[in-house]
Chain A
Amino acid sequence: MEQIELAKKAIAGDETALLQILKQEESTHYRIAFSYLKNEHDSLEAIQEFTFCCFRKIHTVKQAEFLNTWLIRVLLNVCSDIQKKKRRYELRNDVAEGTFQNDDNHLELSEAISKLTPKQQQLIYLKYYCDLKNKEIAKEMHISEGTVKSRLHTALKKLRFLFSEGGQS
């Protein structure tokens, strides 16, 4: 219950409380950023931008119970922005070098996950990394439990497809 009190303080504008929460959750956040962006440099940049966004938008969080899932949503949005920027840059490098190499094979699954829509990614991380129950996810995302199930199903189906596609090439 202490967590809830801290979250409430953070939402009310207590900056120290928010910093404390971000510190507590840093491993989870960093790992999600890393699995998305695949390197330390970009992941650290993501954490910086993410911290900035959190402070700017924390007042919009309605319920303290869902602060953690809100944080992950913000993080995934930031990661997706950074990747978009990076892609633009990589594309240009591509043309110059003529080749494109992907030497990460130890993160295949998260690689595939990063191709899902931000909403689907959030769902997967909440379910399988943060170990939330379908019911909890439903509450956070303001959708019914049934919708969570069906959306998870769609996301998994897409993942399976991405995997088989990856396997063929």
Chain B
Amino acid sequence: MNEKDFDKLKEELTNIVVPTEKLASMRHNGYAKYKKRQKRNRLFFKQVALIAVVVIIFVSSIRVSPAFANAVAKIPGFAPLVEMLTKDKGLKDIVDNEYFEELNIVQTKNNITLTILGTIADETGIVIFYELEAPFNISNLETKEFQLSQNGEVINSSSTSGWPYTEPTKTIQGKLEVIATSKIDYSKPDFEIYLKFDDTKETSFTIPFTLTKPIQPSKVYDVNKPLKIDGQTIYVQSLTISPLRAELKLKVNSQNTMQILQIDHLKVLDEKGEEWGKVQDGLVGLGSFREETNSIFIQSNYFRKPNKITLVLDQIEALPKGEDYVEIDFLRQKIVKVPPIDDFDLKILDSNSIEVTYKSKEDHHVQLFSDVIDAEGNQFYHNSFSVYENHNRFTESSYHFDLKGAVNPVQIYFFSYPHYLEGSTKVEIPLTE
């Protein structure tokens, strides 16, 4: 091995014919692939103990009515709220009732400036609005860690962070959403945000803040009524109404022949016929029909104080029991079982992620899978998913699972699938305290 050998290497390399045209086309493909991925919305979340129901909504253009615009104009810097308002009636009430707290706490590190604009808080959780600014492009900056602590202890919660920016930008406005596993106690309202990004310096921020405005207590109503639909039974257990959201607790009868997954259309009508729908973006529920806890979040009518509401359940997703999971051997990169559903395609991407394509009637942005049971019966969860753009009613999405220590093959249970029970059902709930 000497310098001459390396001259030979150089010569060998120089002798390789370069297919310029093909290379140009490959470069184009690689770039196109990048642009396609870039278009997806990113939403990072972590879940503690409970499964978080996460929905990704694509907002290409936000139309804002003058009323909304006026409402938001009252709060300087709350731009992310505009987007939320268009999707959540309860939040409009929050703004009208000035149920928010401005903070404007600024911190700069490694040239990145983080401003905590303000919060909306209640016993169920806290939404934190923030702005990021840097002298360079930060559209690719991803949140690596986020947690919220109170009096030195991390709040046990499910949380989301992320933003839909795709074009290069130097400022980002976003929200951090925390939904607590148990009621947040505001007797000592001292909190601390910890946020870490995935830049090379792994810039992290620790920002303490104290809330001074009074927190409205949640109202709890026990319902305990059974609902029958298409031969299956669902129990409505309770309804808890808070400023940020109303939480409906449901349970299924274990004798059901179908595994109920999600309720796609769920609305609440008050005595005047005014409607509130499900929360549509971010965290929209906790738990699942397979677990003890199953909560669906509805847009809140907390500030309206209705006497009675009617709950309407429609488009109930279900798959026959025993056909409600896929089985995959990640070790051998083999699909063991896929239920016989039309237009469903699954691909193994690597040792812990899959990509699926399926057909749905309308945009279907909720995660398809959630919990995983390995060959030895241990439970695992998925920790991120992304939805690419829909083409001809086909949805393409990928799922990444946290499978440390799992024994293959694993069963991945459907959490949602656009296959429905026949009909709809409703129940009246009096709201007298």
| Count of B interface residues, CB-CB < 8 Å | 32
For the complex, what is the distance from the CA of A14 to the CA of B57, rounded to whole Å? 28
Q: Which of A26-34, A94-102, A143-151 contacts B (4 or more CB under 8 A)?
A: A26-34
The answer to whether residues A47 and B12 also contact, given A13-B139, A13-B168, A160-B1 and a CB cut-off of 8 A, is no
Main secondary structure of the interface of A (DSSP, over half): helix
Q: Which of A23, A56, A110, A163 contacts B27 (CB 8 A)?
A: A23
- Whole-angstrom distance from the CB of A106 to the nearest CB of chain B? 7
Q: Is A12's CB under 8 angstroms from B34's CB?
A: no
| Count of A interface residues, CB-CB < 8 Å | 39
Q: Is B9's CB under 8 angstroms from A30's CB?
A: no
For A35-53 the 0/1 string (1 means CB < 8 A from B) is: 1000010001101111110
- Whole-angstrom distance from the CB of B7 to the nearest CB of chain A? 8
For the complex, what is the distance from the CA of A34 to the CA of B31, rounded to whole Å? 21
**How many A-B contacts at CB < 8 Å in the complex?**
95
For the complex, what is the distance from the CA of A160 to the CA of B5, rounded to whole Å? 11
Kindly state whether residue B199 has any CB partner on chain A within 8 Å: yes
Q: Nearest residue in A to B2 (C-beta to C-beta)?
A: A156
In chain A, positions 48-80 with a C-beta closer than 8 Å to chain B are 48-52, 54-56, 59-60, 62
Q: Which of B13, B140, B168, B199 contacts A110 (CB 8 A)?
A: B13
Kindly state whether residue A82 has any CB partner on chain B within 8 Å: no
For the complex, what is the distance from the CA of A5 to the CA of B13, rounded to whole Å? 29
Q: Is A26's CB under 8 angstroms from B20's CB?
A: yes
Q: Is B31's CB under 8 angstroms from A55's CB?
A: yes
Kindly state whether residue A159 has any CB partner on chain B within 8 Å: yes
Kindly state whether residue A116 has any CB partner on chain B within 8 Å: no
For the complex, what is the distance from the CA of A156 to the CA of B10, rounded to whole Å? 16
Residues of A within 8 A of B1 (CB): 156, 159-160, 163
Q: Is A19's CB under 8 angstroms from B27's CB?
A: yes
Kindly state whether residue B22 has any CB partner on chain A within 8 Å: yes
- Whole-angstrom distance from the CB of A36 to the nearest CB of chain B? 11
For the complex, what is the distance from the CA of A54 to the CA of B413, rounded to whole Å? 35
Most buried by B among A12, A52, A129, A156: A52
- Whole-angstrom distance from the CB of A140 to the nearest CB of chain B? 15
Residues of B within 8 A of A34 (CB): 16
For the complex, what is the distance from the CA of A16 to the CA of B27, rounded to whole Å? 12
Q: Is A51's CB under 8 angstroms from B31's CB?
A: yes
In chain B, positions 28-42 with a C-beta closer than 8 Å to chain A are 29-31, 33-34, 37
For the complex, what is the distance from the CA of A13 to the CA of B141, rounded to whole Å? 12
Residues of A within 8 A of B168 (CB): 12-13
Q: Is A128's CB under 8 angstroms from B6's CB?
A: yes
Q: Which of B10, B18, B20 contacts A128 (CB 8 A)?
A: B10
Kindly state whether residue A91 has any CB partner on chain B within 8 Å: no
Kindly state whether residue B187 has any CB partner on chain A within 8 Å: no
Q: Which of B16, B18, B34, B137 contacts A51 (CB 8 A)?
A: B34
Q: Is B12's CB under 8 angstroms from A30's CB?
A: no
Residues of A within 8 A of B137 (CB): 12-13, 59
For B17-28 the 0/1 string (1 means CB < 8 A from A) is: 011101110110
Kindly state whether residue B14 has any CB partner on chain A within 8 Å: yes
- Whole-angstrom distance from the CB of B181 to the nearest CB of chain A? 34
Q: Is B26's CB under 8 angstroms from A48's CB?
A: yes
For the complex, what is the distance from the CA of A128 to the CA of B13, rounded to whole Å? 11
- Can you show 26 pairs from A to B with CB atoms below 8 A apart? A12-B136, A19-B27, A22-B27, A26-B20, A26-B27, A30-B19, A31-B18, A35-B12, A35-B13, A40-B22, A47-B30, A48-B27, A48-B29, A49-B30, A51-B34, A56-B37, A56-B140, A59-B136, A59-B137, A60-B199, A109-B6, A113-B9, A128-B6, A128-B10, A129-B9, A156-B1
Give the 4 A-B CB pairs with smallest separation, nearest first. Answer: A51-B30, A13-B137, A13-B168, A55-B34
